[in-house]
Amino acid sequence: MALTWGYTRLVRAAMDVQREAGVQGEQQPEGAARAELGKLLARWRTECGLSQTRLASKVHSNQPTISRWEKGQLLPSAEAIEAVWHVRSTSERAHRLDEEELQQALLLRRHAGAEPKARPQEPSQPAPKAAQQAKKRRWVWAAVATACVAVIAAVVTVWATGDDDSAQAGEQGSTASALPSPTVAATATCAGATCASMEPAATICAKDAVTAYVGRNYGATVELRYSPHCRAAWAKMSRTSPGDRVLITPKKGTTEEYRQRTGYDAHTPMVPAARPEDAQACAHIQDRGTVCATTPVTAIAAASPS
C-alpha cells in the first residue's frame, strides 16, 4: 500500500511538471477592458486633431506613454483619463461631447485594474523568431518532464519498500509572481508662458498656490488661484452644477475655460500671470448669471512677487 501510494504521488508531481512545461513561454494576453480603453483614448485624441506628442504636452506626459496607453500596454490613472477628456472637451474640433464616454472610460479603467497584468516585453528580435524560440523551449520542457516520469517510474519499481517521505520530496511548491510596482509620474516644472494650458495639479504650481481674489453669488464661489513660483494663475469654482463654466482671462494670452461635467468643483488650466492682477477669474452659472473673483484676499498679499 505504501509503495502504491508513493508511486502515485511521484507520478502526479511529474504530471504537474508537464503541465507547467505546456504553458512555459506563453505570454498572457492583455485584458479586453484595457484594450478597449486604449481605443477610446486614441479616438478622443484623433477627434481633437492632435498627435501623440502634442497631446502629451497638454496633459504633461510623453509620447511613449501616450502610445502605451492607446495600445493597452499601460493603464493610465483616473486623473490622466480626465485630463485627456478635458483636452477633448475644450477642442474646437470635437463636435460631439458625450459625458457618458468619460464615465465609460473610468469604468473600463476599474475593470482593467482587476484583470491580470501582462508583463511588458520589448523583444530585441523579430516576433516570428521569438515565437519559434518559445515553441522550442516548450518542447524542451516537455521532454524533460517526460524523462522525469520515466526516471521516477524506474526508481519506484526498484524500491521494494517505498518511504512516504521520498514521495513528498517529489512535490513542488508554487511560486507567486511578483506584480510590478506602479510608476509614479514626476511633477512638472514650468514658469510663466510655459505654464499656459497646463493642469495645475500636474505641476509644482499647485504646491505654493494661494487664493488671491474671491467672488460669491448665486450660491457659487469663484476663486483666482495664483502660484508665485510659477507666475501662473487659474480659476476655480465651487458649489456649482454640471453645465456651469469657469474661465480665466489673462491680460496677455488666451482665455482658458472649463465646463463642469460632474461633481461640484472645477478649475481651468493655467495662464501666465506676473501678478494675480494680470488675470481675471469668472464663472458663468447656468440660467442665473456671472460671478467674478474681484474681492482681494489680503491675507496672502505678502506671497505675491514684488
* Tens digits of residue pLDDT in 52-75: 999 999 999 999 999 999 999 999
Q: Do 138 and 60 sit in the same domain of this protein?
A: no
- Residue 235 above 80 pLDDT? yes
- Residue 31 above 60 pLDDT? yes
Rounded CA-CA distance 76/209 in Å is 26
Q: Do 198 and 159 sit in the same domain of this protein?
A: no
Say what percent of the chain tops pLDDT 70. Answer: 67
* Tens digits of residue pLDDT in 100-139: 888 888 888 988 877 665 454 444 444 566 667 777 777 7
- The residue with greater pLDDT, 123 or 79, is 79
- Residue 33 above 50 pLDDT? yes
- The residue with greater pLDDT, 177 or 82, is 82
Query: Is residue 18 in some structural domain?
Result: yes
Q: Do 105 and 150 sit in the same domain of this protein?
A: no
Query: Is residue 184 in some structural domain?
Result: no
Average pLDDT for 179-194 = 64
Q: Do 44 and 109 sit in the same domain of this protein?
A: yes
Residue ending a domain, among 114, 144, 179, is: 114
> pLDDT value at position 94?
59
> pLDDT value at position 130?
64
Provide the terminal-to-terminal Cα distance of the chain, rounded to the nearest Å: 93
Q: Do 110 and 53 sit in the same domain of this protein?
A: yes
What rounded mean pLDDT belongs to the chain?
Answer: 76
Rounded CA-CA distance 252/129 in Å is 58
Q: Is 73 exposed, middle or buried (0-12, 13-18, 19+ CB in 10 A)?
A: middle
Q: Do 21 and 135 sit in the same domain of this protein?
A: yes
Average pLDDT for 187-209 = 89
Query: Is residue 119 in some structural domain?
Result: no
Nearest to 97 by CA among 266, 261, 283, 264: 261
Query: Is residue 185 in some structural domain?
Result: no
Side chain identity, residue 256: E
Asked if 10 contacts 163 with a C-beta cutoff of 8 angstroms, the reply is no
> pLDDT value at position 306?
42
Q: Do 151 and 210 sit in the same domain of this protein?
A: no
Q: Do 204 and 286 sit in the same domain of this protein?
A: yes
Query: Is residue 183 in some structural domain?
Result: no
Asked if 182 contacts 26 with a C-beta cutoff of 8 angstroms, the reply is no
Average pLDDT for 91-106 = 73
Q: Do 97 and 198 sit in the same domain of this protein?
A: no
Q: Do 37 and 108 sit in the same domain of this protein?
A: yes
Rounded CA-CA distance 71/282 in Å is 39
Instruction: Of 79-83, 116-120, 227-231, 284-288, give the lowest mean pLDDT range.
Output: 116-120
Instruction: Of 48-57, 109-118, 198-207, 282-291, give the lowest mean pLDDT range.
Output: 109-118
> pLDDT value at position 63?
95
Q: Do 23 and 145 sit in the same domain of this protein?
A: yes
Please identify which residue in the block is written with the cell numbers 517505498: 162
- The residue with greater pLDDT, 157 or 243, is 243
Query: Is residue 64 in some structural domain?
Result: yes
**HEC sequence for the chain:** CHHHHHHHHHHHHHHHHHHHHHHCCCCCCCCHHHHHHHHHHHHHHHHHCCCHHHHHHHCCCCHHHHHHHHHCCCCCCHHHHHHHHHHHHCCCCCCCCCHHHHHHHHHHHHHHHHCCCCCCCCCCCCHHHHHHHHHHHHHHHHHHHHHHHHHHHHHHHHCCCCCHHHHHCCCCCCCCCCCCCCCCCCCECCCHHHHCCCCHHHEHHHCCCEEEEEEEECCEEEEEEEECCCCEEEEEEECCCCCCEEEEEECCCCCEEEECCCCCCEECCCEECCCHHHEEEEEEECCCEEEECCEECHHHHHHCCC
Query: Is residue 177 in some structural domain?
Result: no
Range of the domain at 212: 192-303
Query: Is residue 186 in some structural domain?
Result: no
- Residue 95 above 60 pLDDT? no
Average pLDDT for 170-183 = 40
Beta bridge partners of 284: 245, 290
Number of structural domains found in the chain: 3
pTM here is 0.42
Q: What is the dihedral of CA 101, 103, 106, 108, to 10 degrees?
A: -60
- Residue 191 above 50 pLDDT? yes
Q: Do 11 and 157 sit in the same domain of this protein?
A: yes
